[in-house]
Each structure stands twice: as C-alpha cells, then as structure tokens.
Amino acid sequence: MGKQREIAGWGHQVRVLTDVERPETVRGLSSSLGVQGIARGLGRSYGDAALAPGRVWQMTRMRRMLAFRDGVLTAEAGTSLGDIQRVFLPRGYTLPVTPGTQWVTLGGAVASDVHGKNHHRAGAFSRYVEGIALCTADGEVRSIGPTRDPDLFWATVGGMGLTGLILEVSLRLQPVETGYISVDYFRTGGLEETLGWFAEHDAAYPFSVAWLDCLASGQALGRAVMMGGRPAAAEEVPRGKMAYPMPRPALRMPVRLPSGALSRGVGIAFNAAYYGVHRPVLRKVEPWWKFFYPLDVVDDWHRLYGRQGFVQYQAIFPQDVGLREIRGLLGRIQAARHPNFLGVLKRLGESSPGLLSFPAPGLTLALDLPMQGERTRSLFRDLYAQTADLGGRVYLAKDSFLTPALLQRMYPRLAEFRAVKERVDPMGRWRSALAERVGLVEAP
C-alpha cells in the first residue's frame, strides 16, 4: 500500500486524496497492481488526467536511461524530457518534439501525444516513438510499436494512461549542431495581421508560435509577438559561449499568492508589457531553454494563481476556421470580463494516428485563466460549446470541464479507442478522475 497524499494537477483547482505508489523497479510495481487507478508522471497536465481516487502510480523514480543505439534512446517512462536534453545535447542530439515545459516525463509525453512549436513541420511526439513497454491490466508487460500490435500502440499514444502503465519508451532523437535557436521576432497590430503572418511565413520556420494579447481592446485585440525559429548553426554560437549551453537552476516561487491577486487589470498590464518589451529583431540567437521553456525559469509558478488555482482552455480548430470565429471566441472572453493571462496561438500540421491524440491541421489557441468558480465554469461551457460547433476539440491534457456528450462530438475515433480499451482492460482497471468525468470509463 502506498502513502495517502493530497495531489493535484498543474492548475491546482482540483485536489484528490489518494494512495500514491512510487515504484522504483518493475518488480516493486508488480506487487502494487491489484487495484484500480492511473499512472502519473510529473503532474504537468492541468486538470484531473493524472488524478484518481483509488491509486496513483507516480512513475518518476523509474527514470533510468537504458540504451542508445543508432539515434534511438530507450529509457524508463519516468525520465524527464529535461534530463534527456541535459544528457544528450552535449552529445549532439536533441528531442525531436517538446512541449512548453521540460518537466514532463516520457510516459506523460506519450500518453498525451504532446506537440511542440514544430508541429506544423515535424508532427506530434508519437511520430518518433519506435516502441513502448506497456504493463496491461492482466499484469503482462507487452512490447508494442507502430508495427507491433498497432491498435494498442495508437490507443496508448494520446490515450491518457487508460491502456496501462507505460514502463519504457524508445524514442528517436534528432542530431543537432548546437543548443541554440536563431529566432526572428515580429509584432502584429491585431488578430487579422497575426493570422496573416501564419498564412504567409509560418511554413518557412521549423519552429513558430504567437504570444497573443487577448486583453488588448478594439482593433488591437489579438495583436501578438510572433516568433519564428531555426536551429542555430555552429558559426552562429555567440563568441566565447559553449555550443551546448546548460541553464542555471530555476527560481522558486516561495509563497502562494492570495486568490484574486492576478486580476484583469494585472493581466492587461502584463500583456501590454510583454508586447512592449519584445521589439522586432531578426536572428536573435537564444539558448534552447529560453526559446522552448520560458515558463520554466520559475518553479511552481502555478502558485501565482492562489489556492483556487487556474484552468487552461486549449482547442484546435479545423483549417476553415479563421478570423471571424477566433475573434468571436476572444470577444466572448472579453465580454465576460474574466481575467486571463497567457494566450498562445499556433498552427498545427498533420493529425497523428493516435485514436485520442489532440493535434489536427489548423490553429490551436491556448489561454490560462484563474479559476473563479461558477463564473469560470459558465465561460468554459460557452467556449466548449462554440468549439464543438466549429468542429474543433479541446486538449484532454489541459481540460477540466469536458462532458461525455462533448467528448463524443469532439473525438471522432472514440469508438475505436473504446474497442481497444475493452480488449485490454475489460474491467476498467486503469481509470482517472478525467476518464470518469468524460465517460471514458464507467463511473463507479
């Protein structure tokens, strides 16, 4: 039996008291498998995907790197992406795809089939996964991959831990000349220009993203700092610097701010300052962590949002959704006068074959909002309904509000996923609070 602990998702708006197992080896894990529950990595999913009232297997002690052959790393699922960067960058390899924080595990990256700033050209994380060792509900460890039990493989990538415990992952890394990215910064004056930039310039950059000001008023709504990046070549490394630099330890957020400290006024000021500071500049050479993980400079930054925590709205819209619709969504948030801080817009490329994978071709919009009880819930009801009406879907790794009916509308391959789940887990052993809430498993 593990230790009873209160755990939360990254948004800290839902907490669960549960039995937490922290296995160090497969043998240690096997002795704890008799009950229902879910795997957990570094807890960077925002809502309740890695929470379960029964048992949670926190995999972060299983973090050994096991083999590296022909560019393919095999490592235990609790290994963090940050650790992989630290070990492999000095050896000339980097992650092929990375989300906006390095503090996610291999298991979490596979289970959410994460996407990065290069999705429009490089696809999702699963494109580079060559194999997985998966512990299924019968206690067996199965070796699966795109050609070994592909149905189970494509249900596991993006499957939010609901097919079993991922024990090991074999991931193809990318050769790279330096640990720097050469970044072009632009600023747009409003949403139309922001979308125009994506249409015209995005394809030219391996990495791209827009930091969106969703609180600017009138024609300035949706103005953005646009970033287009390319891996820097050896001759671009700043004079006197190492080709593969490493970050200093992160700062700590020592206290939790009172809920409500991040008001709408603070949001407007923050966004305006961010926009003001980032002046247009070409070929600014930045170390990998600064470009990929700007939020990681402060550990525990979720504490800024106070005890009530915060939530994220992240949706992907089909390619025919554009200016009018995105402006409508942003206008809805403005009309509610709900505070909101970080806004990110990004164009995604091809869908992944993962049955519950989030990415699809089109624009993805992500917004962080402090949790303010019924006011926030009501706003999300509206945003989610509009998203479904537009043919879009929300990201399960970020979700806190989805319902079974909306899941059905947003995820067209749900029936295929359910069929695989029924085959490998007929008793519904692997279950999270998210899975119960959205009807991916029957609630007890």
Ligand X SMILES: Cc1cc2nc3c(=O)[nH]c(=O)nc-3n(C[C@H](O)[C@H](O)[C@H](O)COP(=O)(O)OP(=O)(O)OC[C@H]3O[C@@H](n4cnc5c(N)ncnc54)[C@H](O)[C@@H]3O)c2cc1C
Q: How many residues bind ligand X (CB under 6 A)?
A: 33
Helix H or strand E encompassing 277: helix 264-277
Task: Render 289-355 in DSSP notation, one character per residue.
Answer: HHHH-GGGGBTTGGGGG-TT-EEEEEEEE-TT--HHHHHHHHHHHHHHT-----EEEEEE-SPPS-T
**Amino acid (1-letter code) at residue 214:** C
Q: Which stretch binds ligand X (CB under 6 A): 33-41, 136-144, 257-265, 283-291?
A: 33-41
209 binds ligand X (CB under 6 A): no
**Of the candidate residues 35, 233, 282, 295, the single one contacting ligand X (CB under 6 A):** 295
How far is it, in rounded angstroms, from Cα 248 to Cα 297?
9
Assess 281 for contact with ligand X (CB under 6 A): no
Q: Among 8, 13, 37, 44, which residue sits at the site for ligand X (rule: CB under 6 A)? A: 44
Q: Which of residues 110-169 bind ligand X (CB under 6 A)?
A: 111-112, 114-116, 160-161, 165-166
Report residue 113 as tokens: 């089939």
Q: Does 343 bind ligand X (CB under 6 A)?
A: no
By CB under 6 A, residue 29 contacts ligand X? no
Nearer to ligand X, 221 or 358 (CB): 358
Q: Residue 63 or 332: which CB sits closer to ligand X?
A: 63
Q: Per CB under 6 A, does 11 bind ligand X?
A: no
| Minimum gap (Å) between residue 397 Cβ and ligand X | 4
Q: In the sheet where 310-317 sits, what is the strand order?
A: 281-287, 180-188, 223-231, 207-213, 343-348, 362-370, 310-317, 393-394
Q: Does 267 bind ligand X (CB under 6 A)?
A: no
Give the interface segment with ligand X, choosing from 38-46, 227-235, 316-324, 419-427 (CB under 6 A).
38-46
Please give the helix or strand (H or E) that residue 107 lies within, else none: helix 106-111
Residue 42 engages ligand X in binding (rule: CB under 6 A): yes
Residue 420 in the binding site for ligand X (CB under 6 A): no
Q: Are 130 and 175 in contact (CB under 8 A)?
A: no
Give the distance from CA 326 to its chain's centroid.
Answer: 21
Judged by phi (left if over 0) then psi (alpha if -120 to 50, else beta), residue 12 lies in left
Binding site for ligand X (CB under 6 A): 10, 38-45, 49-50, 59, 77, 99-101, 104-105, 107-109, 111-112, 114-116, 160-161, 165-166, 295, 397, 432
